[in-house]
Amino acid sequence: MRRVPGETLEKDVTQSSIKRNIGPVALMLTGLGSIIGSGWLFGAWKAAKIAGSAALLAWVIGAVVIMAIALTYAELGATFPESGGMVRYARYSHGALVGFISAWANWIAIVSVIPIEAEASIQYMSTWPYDWAHALYVNDTLTTMGIVLSVFLVIVYFMLNYWGVKVFARANSLITVFKFLIPGLTIAGLIFTGFHADNFGSATSFAPYGWPAVLTAVATSGIVFSFNGFQSPVNLAGEARNPSTSIPFAVVGSILLALVIYVLLQVAYIGAVNPADVAKGWSHFNFASPFAELALALNLNWLAILLYVDAFISPSGTGTTYMATTTRMIYAMERNNTMPKIFGNVHPFYGVPRPAMWFNLFVSFVFLFFFRGWGTLAAVISVATVISYLTGPVSLMALRRVAPDLHRPVNIPLMGLVAPFAFVCASLVLYWAKWPLTGEIILLMVVALPVYFYFQGKTGFSGWGRDLKAAWWLIAYLPSMAVLSLIGSKEFGGNGTLSYGWDMAAVAVLPLIFYYWGVHTGYRSSYLEERERHEDIENEVGA
């Protein structure tokens, strides 16, 4: 049966309210701590391998794309300051079906980061000068012992969240400060010790693999994946003090600071490699621990040691943060009536949803078993992440249209231009990922629909017709993008039916149709009305 709003929501407020303990700086450090994870250890190498020295532009393009998307979520997060909010916004504007697809995509993209961060640490460990360390990662795959050590790290992430958000926030803030120091020392060490300016266009051309490779690097080298941590402040909005100012500050600040770090790291990497090796082609560089191996080649043994230490600290900080945010997402999905009720239980003293934590721990172990290496999942997560972003701009503008009376502490100007731009950017990144990966990830987004229908069946498919009508734009969008990817130019993995240039134009124009369709089919759902009643109860209890 569907919950009786007044009774259940009052129980949520009086017995299991999540505590608001995170200030603006700590919230921004949470975002930055999520962003600066394993991506900085591997991203510069992967981006240059795909795009050459033009990888510099790929980071800037990626930041522009993510910033546009993040601005829509910053406004939504301030309007709806609740834990796991990113899996609930689409439900408020388009009902249960769009809400479920969005929540599933978002959760898959985030929960899979937890094991990847652990795998990144062990992969760096495999280049330690010991035989037992070399045996941890063989033929681009973690061995059984490597997986066991990864499991241990995931358990550490779990325990740092188990005793409440204060423990998590303090640990994350300390880790994030350390994260600043090591990339900074890496940039300085490589630039001032062995910098080769010729690598930026003399030893080989600036964009040796063409501009399509630059765009593909945005989608698949881990760049989108590396910026993905901006979601953490949004998902922790329910635990933020003064969310109307904290959330925009945390989201925008973390992205801008990360961009500076990533660009400087890319400059340091490109300049540090041997020009003679660059002449053979950027695609020939194969590293297990890129910056550490470069430091050793330049006799910077002190830097290599710090990098090996940071290979545990940076990914562990991100893994710990994602353990927190994914737990809140499962908690929010239970409130959406698409997860068992046990996942909505919050510990009365520590204020964390522990059953949801245990579930995410189990799922992390499953990912560790099936995907045994950082590179195996980086591109997949990036594309899944992009799909999860698509509903944000649509939901925001739909709610501006159908619910103008909502209290909006943050009202970002020019959003009528920013939102469609963000949707088109996300669509372009999805296309740049290349066929068949684009089609495979789109398929992954629909395999969970039986779960949705199961929970809808328990409620007698209440409101099904209205939800389906509001979901047609997304139902049509996903296969349309898959077909565009299939018939697109050969530069992006398609069969060449659309030549390069025309395919980009099609991917820029077609998503606009779905965007405006989605905005105009949004409606003031019953879930939004339920939330407003929830707020009324909170005010009564607070009074």
Query: Nearest Cα to 313, choosing from 178, 162, 127, 152?
Result: 178
Query: Nearest Cα to 233, choosing from 174, 321, 151?
Result: 321
Q: Per the structure block, which two tokens stand in for 530? A: 């339920």
| Residue 142 backbone dihedrals phi, psi, to 5 degrees | -70, 135
For residue 103, name the pLDDT band (cuts at 50, 70, 90). Answer: confident
Least confident stretch, 91-95, 311-315, 400-404: 311-315
Residue 279 has pLDDT above 80, yes or no: yes
DSSP state of 194: S
Quick one: angle between helices 24-35 and 301-335, nearest 10? 110
Give tens-digit pLDDT for 323-361. 877 777 777 777 767 677 777 666 555 556 778 888 888
Residue ranges covered by each domain of the chain: 5-538
Q: Which residue has the tokens 């078993």?
A: 369
Pick from 125-139, 453-467, 490-504, 511-525 the range whose average pLDDT is largest.
511-525
Q: With left for phi above 0 and alpha for psi between -120 and 50, is residue 84 left, alpha or beta?
A: left
Give tens-digit pLDDT for 493-517. 889 899 988 998 998 899 999 999 9
Length of the chain: 543
Query: CA of 459: how far to CAs of 61, 450, 531, in Å?
Result: 44, 14, 19
Q: Give the CA-trace dihedral at 170, 249, 56, 139, to 10 degrees.
A: 30
For residue 535, name the pLDDT band (cuts at 50, 70, 90). Answer: low
Q: Check if the beta carbon of residue 154 is closer than 8 Å to that of residue 364.
A: yes
Burial class (CB in 10 A: 0-12, 13-18, 19+), 287: middle
Give the CATH superfamily of 5-538: Amino acid/polyamine transporter I (1.20.1740.10)
Mean of per-residue pLDDT scores for the chain: 81
For residue 433, name the pLDDT band (cuts at 50, 70, 90). Answer: confident
- pTM assigned to the model: 0.79
Q: What is the CA radius of gyration of the chain?
A: 23
